[in-house]
Structure 1
Amino acid sequence: MALAQQVRPADDTSARIGLSGYGSRAFDSVPDTRTAGELLRGIDAAQCRFSPAAVQPPLVLYGGGDLGRLARDYCSGLGLEVAALVDRNAERLRQDAFWQGLPVFAPDEVAKDLKATAQLAVCVATAPFLPLAETLARDGWGNVVPFYDVAESLRAVHPLSNGWFVGAFSPQDMEETARVLFGWEDDVSRAHHLQFIAWRRLREEWTFEDAPVRGDDRFFIPEIMAHIGGVRMFVDGGSYDGRVTDRFLANTKSNDAHVVAIEPDLENSAAHRQGLLAKPDDISGRVTILNEALDATKRERLFHGGLGYASQLSQTGNRLLRTATIDGLNLSPDFLKLHLEGGELDALKGGMETINRCRPIIAATIYHNDDGIWRTPSWLMSELRGYRFLMRLHSWCGTGAVVYALPEELQ
């Protein structure tokens, strides 16, 4: 099957502001296995000019949503001065206590000299980067980069890892990636896998007309929602402040469903507990919060806390803790969700007895390190019998990638 496509490298404006390493390709349909293999070989053969974007003051953030808030906390923690925030909802954000002390501008309020001299870090993952960056360039901004590509230049001192880049594939990488690519249940998964690899390998944004990136159904895609009523135990691994737990409880129609929320960051779990106080007893009483860090084995490891949803096990950590395994917690999940900032594969390895015994639905993020290219999905496909596998992208810039494993008996 030949896919009609439009290849669009970064335009002249993009080249002028240093975006020539970014590009895009649009396809009119999703690929079958043969075409997917050809596209994968093309990615492997291509050259990439990407490199992390070192901080170049004055630094300005674009976007005041969840990622923008994370970016400000990130910069504050590293002693990096942020000159301003730019957001279309500037008037509302000026009233937000979180942004107090920082100039907040609407796009049309920014002085020309700031646009010309500032590094504008785009804190938006809900839309493609390149079209937005080119619009900003035409508006006068001289240096536009994704925030995660800025953070990638500071990995030695901060564990935030969403800006990683994967180099040329080894023969094993190609063999295993192709095996995963052909192992997905549907062509949408193949399209999203290729889209994910193209960004991580080439910093190209690929789009497939029949495979939209949806941000509103992360962890609760239709294939899972069809069986949500049968879930009696939802294990929310990496529960942050409880927002995914809340979504599960809102989606399930069962009053018997229980949640085990696992969150090692003490600030995050405290926020979750505080939120439960405002809920009716028949809701809050169905949630158990465990302050555990999931791992392949029980051992002592450094944990970097205080980073909001980016808190994680890391050598940059500020707290030594003893990790736990899913098997060691003696749980019986019907639905296992893991969002562990790169620790998903280790957690799965520490939960095989539980997974084999309970055969839960599994949803695991795979975008925090290059395990997501093939290691994590390959491990699942090799270790789980009688499961079908899907991949979906729920945001842009190579983020929001989730592998879903569903027991065949649920079909």
Structure 2
Amino acid sequence: MKDLFLDKISGLPGRVEADGEAIKKLCRLPVVLYGDGWYAPYVREYLARFGAKVAGCFADDGFTASPGTVSLAEIGRRFAEFNVVIAFADFRLARKKLEAKACGQIAGIYFFDAMAAMPGNTLDREFARRHREQFGAVYGLLADDLSRETYAAFLGAKLGGDPERLYEVWRKDQYFPEGLIRLSEREVFVDGGAYTGDTLLAFLRKTKNKYARCCAFEPEPENAAKLAALAGRQRFRDVSIINKALWSGAETLRFSGAAGATASALSAAGAAAVETDTIDRAAPDATYIKLDVEGAELEALRGAAGTIRRNRPKLAVCLYHKPEDLFEIPLYIQSLAPDYRFFLRQHQPVSCELVLYGVTGDTILNSFKKRD
């Protein structure tokens, strides 16, 4: 089974080359985006890499859109014929909506997994071949069929550009997957990359406000201020808002990202200084660690090595920010504590939000205690 998996990923075609040819063809007519949500900027950036100019953007009636986004009817008045590029992550739903509109001026409908080939996060065939053994080792560690299917589907989307298999394994219950993560009234929750509180709020709902304490780390000052304001308004109990980045040590690093951005990262070229801390120092009693820290996940885990060895906390770690994270992170955790069981879940229908869940002992629900 593992050899078949390795042969498949090694033989996938280059997706960027294939997308480039498709984008050249669709540019023979005006290119119009359908969708103006979180995914649209990534699609614009991806099209621009191939020299494609977006002639317009439309959204569903009633959607609060950005300036310049209009209705499909207005697009139809501007162009006699045009190609549509779906700028929704949920591309199947978008395709159904477009087909229901039955607009005869639409010459073609296209979708590209723009997340699969972002600069600095592109996984190509040479990389896959070079790290064949590491990918195989991780595949062998995964504890259920859905995890193995998810790993294969994610790599297939990154390498071959086909998001259809990824759509099939998409699950919506991010960080608290039903039937997998067991929460107790004694949880010490570390929210690494807390943003403005979305995951923290989900944790409070899941525990019904019965927990020991929470440590929410958010390095971007504006986001941290919003999170602190939320905590004040809702009178969170035993929640610490920490305006620092998680790392392997306590130091000062550079930080890049616009004020209030959803994704800001530690970077040598960053414009701002940011203080870092470790989980071993700030939350040595952690029982559940969530990390979505824009590529610093491995360093944050190194700063939690003592806590992981001692406590065996539940882990939810994003694997999609860097290609090497797909094998370095699970193999590092296993080196610290070989008794972890690993599960992978995909939480968007495009190649982002891939989360590795690590659980041990009593934190594994009965339905997962035996390998299926």
The alignment's TM-score, normalised by the length of structure 2, stands at: 0.80
Cα pair distance change 1:233/1:73, threshold 3 Å: farther
- 1:235 counterpart letter in structure 2: V
Alpha-carbon deviations, 1:66-122, whole Å to 9, x = none?
4347889999xxxxx97644222x32315xxxx2x32332x454227558567x664
C-alpha distance in 1 between matches for 2:355 and 2:184: 21
* Mean Cα deviation higher: 389-398 or 299-308: 299-308
Cα pair distance change 1:175/1:332, threshold 3 Å: same
Q: Report if the CA contact (8 A) 2:254-2:270 is conserved.
A: yes
Tell me the residue number matched to 2:171.
214
Alignment of 1:104-253 (within 5 A): 104-105=70-71, 107-111=72-76, 114=79, 122-127=86-91, 140=106, 144=110, 146=112, 148=114, 152=118, 155=119, 164-169=122-127, 173-207=131-165, 212-215=169-172, 217-225=173-181, 227-253=182-208
Aligned length: 351
Alpha-carbon deviations, 1:160-210, whole Å to 9, x = none?
x6x63333246551111111101111111000000010011111235289x
Residue segments in structure 2 that go unaligned for 5+ positions in a row:
48-52, 365-372
Question: Which of 77, 88, 92 is the equivalent residue of 2:63?
Answer: 92
Cα pair distance change 1:273/1:143, threshold 3 Å: same
Alignment of 1:236-275 (within 5 A): 236-275=191-230
C-alpha distance in 2 between matches for 1:392 and 1:349: 23
Tell me the residue number matched to 1:289.
241
Residue segments in structure 1 that go unaligned for 5+ positions in a row:
1-33, 76-80, 156-160
- Provide the identity percentage: 25
> RMSD between aligned alpha carbons?
3.8
Question: Which of 354, 358, 370 is the equivalent residue of 1:405?
Answer: 358
**Secondary structure at the counterpart of residue 264 of structure 1:** coil
Cα pair distance change 1:141/1:409, threshold 3 Å: same
- 2:64 counterpart letter in structure 1: L
1:143 Cα deviation (Å)? 8.2
C-alpha distance in 2 between matches for 1:300 and 1:395: 33
Tell me the residue number matched to 1:364.
317
Alpha-carbon deviations, 1:340-375, whole Å to 9, x = none?
111111111111012222221000111111023312
C-alpha distance in 2 between matches for 1:393 and 1:206: 13
Q: Report if the CA contact (8 A) 1:302-1:313 is conserved.
A: yes
Q: Report if the CA contact (8 A) 1:236-1:261 is conserved.
A: yes
Question: Which of 79, 92, 102 is the equivalent residue of 2:68?
Answer: 102
Cα pair distance change 1:134/1:61, threshold 3 Å: closer
Cα pair distance change 1:317/1:251, threshold 3 Å: same
The alignment's TM-score, normalised by the length of structure 1, stands at: 0.73
C-alpha distance in 1 between matches for 2:232 and 2:46: 29
- 1:222 counterpart letter in structure 2: E
1:328 Cα deviation (Å)? 2.9
C-alpha distance in 2 between matches for 1:114 and 1:357: 64
